[in-house]
Structure 1
Amino acid sequence: MGAHVSMVAVSTDPGFVPDRSWIWRSYIESTPELDCDARFFAGAPLSVLFYPSFLRNAVWPYAHGNQAIIRRALAEQSWLSEALDGRSFDMVHCNHFFLMPVAERLARGRSPILLDSHDLQARQFMLMNKKIPWLRPHASYESMLAVELASMRGADLLLHVNIDEHEIFSVLLPEKRHALLYPAGPEAPSGPGGDDIVIVASNNTANVESVVWFLREVAPKAPEIEIKIVGNIDIGVRSGAPEEFRRYRDWFVGRVDDVRCAYESARLVLLPMVNGFGLSIKTLEAMASGLPLIATSAALRGMRDDALDLPDVTIADDPESFARALRRKAREPRRTQAQRRTSCVRAYFDAHFSQAVYRRNLEALVGSLLENGRRP
């Protein structure tokens, strides 16, 4: 978009202060795509953990599972790179509510702030806390949401990556300006194709519950069909459902360097999601591959209703209909590379989640904010 971009990486782990350059080395080496005009760093020193007020107001709530308070508190105590002193910006784009204390320092009360909402993170924190032995009483959803909303009020424009969160936050924060901005989805190979029927999943709570549901409820109803399960989800299933893992051990491929390669030799993608919040990146990835999909409605959460009616998408929300669709689709001839590139799911991806569409929409929002939203 022609902007001069300065990246400010903020650590939510104590001890990652800017002048300890060695501690940031692995982060820099693993994020070459973030190289731009300048890189800066911010983080709280270890000493903050021993401040009585920090122990009382941040560490103690965190011991009860309040992920929102500890993250915001560490951002509030962050030291910034000395090179940022006196530096001004036309606009600050903040990617998490708990980093707003840093964004507001960079804006200096003059520059407008864009903030990405990433779904209601209080809901994500509740999912994260499910298997962690926090002290009782556990932090409530309402207490973490209150921190989230209070932080968001400091932004000039709230960017929401799916329809659900746009509607929810518009009600929760009616005084703020909101915009629906779908993310640019990851590209996936559209061929050459093969015979694999794939589930692609990383190891998180929602994915583990979804894959276990498929193995327990759907797979036994289509015993003649073999599936390839790609990603480090094998770790979570082995731990959470050892019997199902033993039974279907040969289906698990495990972690691969580039999970997108799973789509190259596939003929059909399964999205058996039964839990989770926010727009599903792996659904976007599957759409980009141009393959036919069998999905629960939860897999298309956050999208417009027309996504549910795409000819290449079969919606199946119960085990019987999912297994029935699987047996039927497994008998269909596989798509050619040309058919995948021109499929309706690929066209939907291009129309809503491509890099070009994201850039065009973001450029319009930024232009409007710079023109009308500068603070007095």
Structure 2
Amino acid sequence: MSDTMSQISSSATGRDQSLGATPRPFAGKTVAVVHAAWHSCGSYQVNVGQIAAYKALGARVISVAMMDDLAPRPPRGARWPTYIEASQDIGADRRYYSGAPFSALASRLLVDGWWRLIHGDQASWLIELAKRTPLPEGFESETIDFIHANHYFTLPFVETLMRGRKVPVVLETQDIQARQYMLRNKGGFFIPPYATYDDMLELELSWMRRADLCAHLNEEEHRDFQKLLPELRHALIYPAVLSAPLARGRDVIIVASDNYGNYVSLRWFLEEVVPLARGARVAIYGNIDGGVKRRDAGLYEAHRSLFKGRVDDIGAVYANAGCVLLPTVEGHGLSIKAVEALSCGVPLVATPLAFRGMQVDPATLGNVALAENAQQFAELWRDAQARAEGGHAPSPERSDTRRLYEDAFSQEAYARALATAAAEL
């Protein structure tokens, strides 16, 4: 999953209070939210929302972060300090960390994991790492009543955490990961014979069968997994995304993190749309600048002035917006970036793919202008900019997109959906 607003600071206390009227079916129980040790990405924001929701439902919530690479014992090493510092707002009552140690190389990791990885089999590599991830320091004192795992590849680690006990496990899939691996492999260096989509998908499905319930955060993913695993229980639960500030400015912005899908989309925008926009203005925020520069230095230099990079307060960027552009032509799964744009209530200029995974027809949203091609996108962009400069934007709190956010993607909506799904286990 891509895109983030995790730079917006919001205290756990504030999130809990906003959900104060929610029933508390987890009162007196401890819930472990197990996730990859990622930050500054859409998946991290999803984890923050999960923890806040379970706390609002009455649980004591612990975060268990698993490193997706070989790493020294936390908090040592290059990646652990960075992750721990960047995830201070995660909101858990207690935090644990673990990852496969370098000593795992003495096992069959080179054969079962690394050898497959160099052929593009990221699915096997992550599973083999998870199998070798030890119980976190101090975790032996915990008694877990419920586990919410993120991504199939954490499930071997989840079995280590369960220590032979039977604990209900909800697996939040966050897209078909084999699809993401194939997309990433387009931009990486691997050697033949290349890993196939079918082989990686089969490994993914085999581990998913161990979960008690599979939760999916977008409509496409829900439909596909129901067909692939009809014997399992499935639930469509949109993620909770922290709201951006309501937009009351005049800036035209794009917000994007560095992943391959965003790079492809931004390349289309810069190469195909910008030349037709006749000087329309836009500022591009997020670490996508580094991704463009790394993959196409010439393209980056030609549009260097548009890139503003990662900022400490992305909330201020949304607050000053008069229009958000969503030029999405590549990507799978729900776009957190699109949900953030919905939440700020600002007029949007978007391609239909920006709304992938949502059970909504974006053409019915009054403050969304949809573009089917580059020429149309450029025209709608100019029109939206003129309205923003003229101060003619509708009240953000009463906009169609803000209402959609509150009904489907707010913390309250997510907690209600989680409580309903968990009641069936």
Normalised by the size of structure 1, how large is the TM-score? 0.91
| Residue of structure 1 equivalent to 2:169 | 113
Structure 1 residue 109, shift from structure 2 partner = 4.5
Structure 1 residue 6, shift from structure 2 partner = 2.5
SS of aligned partner of 1:15:
coil
Cα distance change of structure 1 residues 173 and 34 upon mapping to structure 2, 3 Å threshold: same
- In 2, the alpha carbon distance for the partners of 1:225 and 1:26 equals 38
1:73 pairs with 2:125: no
Amino acid at match of 2:379: R
| Residue of structure 2 equivalent to 1:157 | 213
Structure 1: give runs of 5+ residues left out of the alignment.
Answer: 370-376
Amino acid at match of 2:259: N
| Residue of structure 2 equivalent to 1:177 | 233
| Residue of structure 1 equivalent to 2:413 | 357
1:236-285 Cα shifts (integer Å, max 9, x gaps): 22343444433332222122112232222221111001101110111111
Cα distance change of structure 1 residues 12 and 246 upon mapping to structure 2, 3 Å threshold: closer
1:101 pairs with 2:188: no
Structure 1 residue 29, shift from structure 2 partner = 3.1
Cα distance change of structure 1 residues 283 and 11 upon mapping to structure 2, 3 Å threshold: same
1:330 pairs with 2:403: no
Moved more, 27-36 or 173-182: 27-36
Structure 2: give runs of 5+ residues left out of the alignment.
Answer: 1-56
| Residue of structure 2 equivalent to 1:284 | 339
Structure 1 residue 83, shift from structure 2 partner = 3.3
Root mean square deviation of aligned Cα? 2.0
Could you say which structure has the larger radius of gyration? 1
Q: Which has the higher contact order (CA 8 A, sep 6+)?
A: 2
Normalised by the size of structure 2, how large is the TM-score? 0.81
1:256 pairs with 2:311: yes
| Residue of structure 2 equivalent to 1:293 | 348
Moved more, 279-288 or 80-89: 80-89
Cα distance change of structure 1 residues 104 and 285 upon mapping to structure 2, 3 Å threshold: same
| Residue of structure 1 equivalent to 2:242 | 186
Amino acid at match of 1:113: V
- In 1, the alpha carbon distance for the partners of 2:291 and 2:328 equals 15
| Residue of structure 1 equivalent to 2:358 | 303
Question: Residues 192-341 of structure 1 correspond to what in structure 2 (within 5 A)?
Answer: 192-194=248-250, 196-333=251-388, 339-341=395-397
Amino acid at match of 1:322: F
1:167 pairs with 2:223: yes
- Percent identity reads 40
1:23-47 Cα shifts (integer Å, max 9, x gaps): 5444333322335343333322212
- In 2, the alpha carbon distance for the partners of 1:239 and 1:86 equals 45
Cα distance change of structure 1 residues 234 and 30 upon mapping to structure 2, 3 Å threshold: closer
SS of aligned partner of 2:60:
coil
- In 2, the alpha carbon distance for the partners of 1:199 and 1:86 equals 46
1:40 pairs with 2:107: no
1:49 pairs with 2:108: no
| Residue of structure 2 equivalent to 1:131 | 187
Amino acid at match of 2:375: E
